[in-house]
Amino acid sequence: MPTTEVRSDIAGKVWKIEAEVGAVMAADDTILILESMKMEIPVAAPVGGRLVEIQVAEEDVVGEGDVVALLES
């Protein structure tokens, strides 16, 4: 099955993880929320599929373009 990498659009801190591994996600469903410059920025599934891995934890700092999760379609 094809795997899709979910990447951070911006640098920031992982504020809250919204989804659980194994969840079936639709395109644009929120996986986690980043905090950057006192703003909350959702990181959404780019495509529909099953969330197979979350590669960050709450409070982790991520850079722009970092892989934060994997979806299997």
3-state secondary structure of 43: strand
pLDDT digits (tens, 9 = 90+) for 4-63: 999 999 999 999 999 999 999 999 999 999 999 999 999 999 999 999 999 999 999 999
What is the residue type of 63?
G
Q: Which residues of 18-37 are buried (b: 16+ CB within 10 A; e: fewer)?
A: ebeeeeebeeebebbbbebe
Domain boundaries, the chain: 3-72
What's the confidence (pLDDT) of residue 1?
74
What's the confidence (pLDDT) of residue 73?
87
The fold adopted by the segment(s) 3-72 is: OB fold (Dihydrolipoamide Acetyltransferase, E2P) (2.40.50)
Per-residue pLDDT band at 72 (split at 50, 70, 90): very high
